[in-house]
Structure 1
Amino acid sequence: MTAPGKPTLPQLADELPRVVWTLHRLLRQKQETPAGEHPRPPAQVELLRLVESEPGISVREVAETLRMQANNVSTLVSQLVKAGYLDRRPHPDDRRIVQLYPTEKMHATSVEIAKGLSAGVTEALEQLSPQARKRLAAALPDLAELGQVLARPS
């Protein structure tokens, strides 16, 4: 990088994914598995988060959103239904389409994981200066917008 806090566009494009990947890896390491559960593979976690945010989403829509093959999504869905995290329901207007819904078990597990993760992040944020926390908070809308731009079809 050039001057601290003043990277060029190519430097920012190189550094941002590194920082985000490191944060992602560390957050996954901090994430506690709920009592009596086994850690879920990242693909299952992504699918669960998507269904939680979009109840009623179809397998095809999951595959498109996560950029996965439909047969791989179907396999993941079967595993998660068997584990009690997802519920499959036929679409009311087209019974050929299966919609996915989170179960109570999934909601309870999600809340437990979120509380633990939030506590860990809060503890880390408390170790930062107020100025650093303010800069992070100010960057959140821009990071969310960057995520939306990256999610657009190429």
Structure 2
Amino acid sequence: MLTKTENLRSDAGLASALRVSLARLNRRLRKQGAHHSLTPTQLATLAAVESHTEMTPGELAEHEKVQPPSMTRVIAKLEERGLLARKPHPTDRRQVTVRLTEAGTALLKEERRMKEAWLARQLKELTPEERAALRVAAPILARLSQM
């Protein structure tokens, strides 16, 4: 049986360790968010609209890698809660765009504040060397998440 260090030397071992660790960290971060009962897909949709200012439902579906009918349902739920608003497309009257409302912006801000505060507390428990390693790894993880 391989030790943890020997296992991390192979790409397959590294992939396995990253998968498990990132999944656990993601679950822990989700628990730290604001108590609003939004699904991860709904939160991701709000964040996508925020980063693009306005998007069509089709653009959102493509961005989030979901089927258009699923995104239509997500948008409807977020609109019901007053977090997204639809408006006519500026150049194509057959389409609409969605944008964040003030309530949607406030919810995302609070969500991030709570998660980042929790993570900052956890980082304080690490050694300076461990935090330095994470500073190096953060852009690499960001790149992996975009592939």
Task: Flag the structure with more relative contact order, 1 or 2, with Cα contacts below 8 A and sequence separation at least 6.
Answer: 2
Give the match for residue 15 of structure 1. Answer: 17
Q: Shift of residue 84 of structure 1?
A: 0.5
State the secondary structure of the residue aligned to 1:128.
Answer: coil
Query: Which TM-score applies when normalising by structure 2?
Result: 0.91
- Give CA deviations for 1:31-82 in whole Å, capped at 9, x if unaligned: 232xxxx311122112111111112111111111212111111111111111
Question: For the residues of structure 2 that align with 1:7 and 1:86, how far apart are their CA atoms?
Answer: 46
- TM-score w.r.t. length of structure 1: 0.87
User: Residues 81-131 of structure 1, C-alpha deviation per residue, up to 9 Å, x if partnerless?
Assistant: 111000111111101121110110111111122111111111110011111
The equivalent position to 2:29 in structure 1, one of 6, 27, 30, is: 27
Given the alignment of the two structures, is residue 79 of structure 1 paired with residue 77 of structure 2, yes or no? yes
* Residue type of the alignment partner of 2:33: Q
Q: How far off its partner does 1:4 sit?
A: 2.3
Give 1:3 shift: 6.2
Q: Could you tell me how far apart the structure 1 residues matched to 2:114 and 2:145 are? A: 24
Q: CA contact under 8 A between 1:51 and 1:101: conserved in structure 2?
A: yes
Aligned residue in 2 for 1:152:
none
Shift >3 Å, 4+ stretches: none
- Cα deviation for residue 142 of structure 1 reads 0.8
Distance 2:59 2:29 in 1: 27
In structure 2, give the amino acid aligned to 1:7. Answer: R
Kindly, what percent of the aligned residue pairs are identical? 32
Is residue 2:92 matched to residue 1:94?
yes
Change (3 A) 1:60 1:137: same
Q: Aligned Cα RMSD in Å? A: 1.6
Are residues 1:121 and 2:123 paired? no
Task: Flag the structure with higher helix content.
Answer: 2
Aligned length: 145
Unaligned runs of 5+ in 1: 150-154
Matches of 1:82 and 1:32 in 2, distance apart? Answer: 19
